[in-house]
Amino acid sequence: MIPLSLAEQIHHLVADMPVELVARLAAALQDSENGRWSQIETRLGWAVSQPDLRQKVVAFVTYWQRYSPETTTESVALAVLTASQVANHYRQMQQLELVWTGPDSQVIPLRRTDQALLQLIREARESLHIVSFAVYKAENITQALVAAAERGVSIAIYLETPDASEGKMSFDTVKALGTAIQKRARLYMWPREKRPLTEDGRFGSLHAKIALADRQTLLISSANLTDYAMTLNMEMGILVRGGEVPKHVESLLLNLLERGVFVKI
């Protein structure tokens, strides 16, 4: 039987890992010999490419060796697979949370918009989709996006632009993102010729504010990617974790890309 303390460490190790990565870790464990700690650490390291996750693996092996060395590699392999399936089950269950920027609530606890968005970006491991009408002086957000790109996250950003909006947007949103984001992310716009028109020639704006991570976590908010929206305005949104809604939003965005409604900047 695996000691409770080691089971807790296994849970912390795999709780946020993709199921496919955990399967590679389990296979590496099954190919390792009991008590050969350097071999175990090396083979687990081969299974993980991201530096932050590799550090978690090393810390886990160190704990395992120190506090439960009698637990076999076969037992730990089975435990990480089981813990991963349980964690994945709960990730798939939809959870909703209100997100708010404005005067402190005296009634219910609310997450700040910037905190929720930063957490979503920092937790992303595979993909990020960001949709915003305005972008201006959101340095914490852009720094988090750069860090996400550097750990291998694929990033797509959908923006309103001065040219496409014909004056509705007065400043350059692409320039506001900064060169670091421009080099690391795919940027898209909604071309003027793709927008529906009223009878008198008026057309709409790209006004959605969406952040989506790994098809699992979705933030829908009134807040643009601006410092005012994140700190001073009165803004409200909803954070969705798990369930089918985040997957549906990604399918919608990908469909708009395939149909040419969004085009690359």
Percent of the chain with pLDDT over 70: 98
Q: How many angstroms separate the CA atoms of 218 and 238, rounded? A: 8
Q: Domain limits of the chain?
A: 4-91, 93-264
66 vs 176, higher pLDDT: 66
pLDDT band at 16 (very low <50, low <70, confident <90, very high): confident
Query: Under CATH, to which class is 93-264 assigned?
Result: alpha beta
3-state secondary structure of 75: helix
Q: Is the pLDDT of residue 255 over 70?
A: yes
Mean pLDDT of 42-59: 89
Of 12-16, 102-106, 156-160, 225-229, least confident by mean pLDDT is 102-106
Q: Is the pLDDT of residue 207 over 70?
A: yes
Q: pTM score, two decimals?
A: 0.67
Query: Phi and psi dihedrals of 225, rounded to 5?
Result: -85, 70
Q: Is the pLDDT of residue 74 over 90?
A: yes
